[in-house]
Amino acid sequence: MMPVLRKLLRRFSWWHWFAVFALLASLDYGVLDAGQIVDQRGMDILVRQHALSRPPSSEVVVIDIDQRSLEEMNGQAGSWPWPRSVHGELVGYLARQQPRAVVFDFHFNEPDIFRPEHDQAFVDAVAAQTNVYLSMALSDSGLGAAVADMPAAVGMQPTPGADPRSHIPLLLPLVMAQHGHPEAMRGGLINFSEDSDRVARHYYLYRERQHWRFPSMPARLAKDNGWPIPAGDRILLNWRSAWRHVPYADVYADAQREKPLRAADEFRDKIVVVGTAAPGLQDLRVTSLGSTYPGVDILATAIDNLRAGDWLREVPRPAALPFAVLLLAGIAYVFARGISPTRIAYGLLGLNLAVVSLAWWQLGRGVWLPAFTPLLFGWLFYWLCALLAYLQERQRREQAIGMFGRFLDPRVVGDLLARGEIDTGANAESRQITVLFSDIRGFTTLSETRSPEAIVSLLNRYFSTQVEIIFRHGGTLDKFIGDAIMAFWGAPVNDPDHARHAILAAMEMSQALVRFKAELTDLGHDFEIGIGLNSGLAVVGFIGSQDRLDYTAIGDTVNLASRIEGQTKGVARVLVAESTMQAAGPVFDYRDCGLHHVKGREQDVRLFEPSLRE
């Protein structure tokens, strides 16, 4: 897995991945529509909160056949379904208060063959009014009735190609026709509609079958009352908090009293929707507000939306594509600029908050904004880019550790990279540094008395000890030159105390030599070292060919340090130039070793032997 990702990392830039995600977004908005559920579920959260801020309209009242009504009326009307004369009495009671409309949210499509007189009472009560609406529903099975036999009160309209001989499976309030009042079969469809994720958010205004167009119940009321009707075939519901439910049993009980106790104008000019929220009658639906939302409340919401003209205006999903592409481009740009993934994540969170706030604000203005799919694409693209940035950084660290681990302590290279104190791409530059040269004396004599294998083993042990000291004091190992060591301080890591650290390392290297000789008693007195230090300006950086680069220092400062090491014989094991003494500050004692003539210098150089201050 990791080699494949690294291969993709080398071949694909941020902008290549941007093109891939932009193409995926275009496919989703243009063809796949897979992200629609993200917009729907995201907006559902906002819609639920928005509904809490919208109290129920006083213009619509639900008379609810709730569980209490089913229980209390069992003695009078028996178990459900009740005799239809009960509903006829309710219609008569409501008619005295002159409601704007009475809407039944359940069907009267089959006659009560055991109680026809009750059907007749209901039909007579409905036929006496012009504002009672009965439910209809399209069915997916059955032969259906011939359109030519349907009364005009059904409200169907022909479209091009319509044939009056068509048979359409439609549940109609046939009890009205069977008892002599087909003109009272006014009503509309109450078919439940759900989106692709099986959640109800929309309400159809019309349904078309065999080129015949049938109005829904809300559209029928809108037409009869002169309310504006949208041009499309459905509306996106603008939900309210819980509707006012009046128990059916309470209203019916008041209808039986000679002197009603309820307010005489309780339902005046109201749209009264008669339906059920009782769990046992199985009219609970999944909506944006929850999974057990009464179907009668869905109908009430759709009617009220048309009445008030405040249904949600839905921004088409493809309109969000430019924002999605712009967001992806912005993420690619900031990653290409090398900005920290953490900072980018905080920025993306802030943008998410702004977009959600905009969607909330638009919802308050009656606009449904599909803003969540672009955010999903943004986060998916962010996590891919963050992974690639991690792999890039890991690759850079591995390269840097492999590169600088030859010159610096590998244990600290990672920390220096994390703090940004090493720039792997830096060109050679001039730096103030302190250079150390250390050389073994008596090595030629030693070589004559030992085998080559023993000499290599001895040098490796010696170099390991001295290099560890250099690393411990923050030095950079430049190279081994035969039996000599070159190191420097002040690069690539900035070190203001480079001179002090170099002198401490030189003095410890001198002490280490004493211990080394004590462990190997056969080395003799001829095995000795000289250490020379010099501070000043030098050019440091990667120098070499494209195939072979070494991090090194060059310049007069380096040359003088080498010459100083050559002056140590017979004078002191460690000698430092005056520039190093001044750069180190008053933290050591120095013995003035006088002026020395060095090769390549017209003027003599004053040298000093450092020691720890007591």
Q: For the chain, how big is the Rg over CA atoms in Å?
A: 46
User: Amino acid letter at 452?
Assistant: P
pLDDT of 52-85, one tens digit each?
Answer: 999 999 999 999 999 999 999 998 899 999 999 9
Residues 6+ apart with CB under 8 A from 117: 85
pLDDT of 366-403, one tens digit each?
Answer: 999 999 999 999 999 999 999 988 888 787 777 766 66
Q: 3-state SS of 10-34? A: HHCCHHHHHHHHHHHHHHHHHHHCC
User: Residue 602's pLDDT is what?
Assistant: 82
User: Amino acid letter at 332?
Assistant: A
Bridge partners of 430, per DSSP, are: 539
The segment(s) of the chain belonging to CATH 3.30.70.1230 are 425-612
In the predicted structure, residue 101 carries a pLDDT above the cut 80? yes
pLDDT of 130-163, one tens digit each?
Answer: 999 999 999 887 777 889 889 999 999 999 999 9
User: Residue 11's pLDDT is what?
Assistant: 62
- Inter-axis angle of helices 372-404 and 341-364, nearest 10: 170
pLDDT of 542-569, one tens digit each?
Answer: 877 766 777 889 999 999 999 999 999 9
CATH of domain 425-612: 3.30.70.1230
In the predicted structure, residue 526 carries a pLDDT above the cut 90? no
User: Residue 449's pLDDT is what?
Assistant: 74
User: Residue 177's pLDDT is what?
Assistant: 87
535 pLDDT band (50/70/90 cuts)?
very high
Closest by alpha carbon to 5, among 317, 400, 362, 392?
Answer: 392
User: Amino acid letter at 122?
Assistant: F
Contact status, residue 457 vs residue 451, Cβ threshold 8 Å: no
Between CA 300 and CA 480 the distance in angstroms is 90
Which of the listed ranges 147-161, 292-306, 538-552, 595-609 does the model predict with the highest average pLDDT? 292-306
Between CA 592 and CA 610 the distance in angstroms is 9
User: Residue 412's pLDDT is what?
Assistant: 61
User: Residue 428's pLDDT is what?
Assistant: 78
Contact status, residue 120 vs residue 186, Cβ threshold 8 Å: no
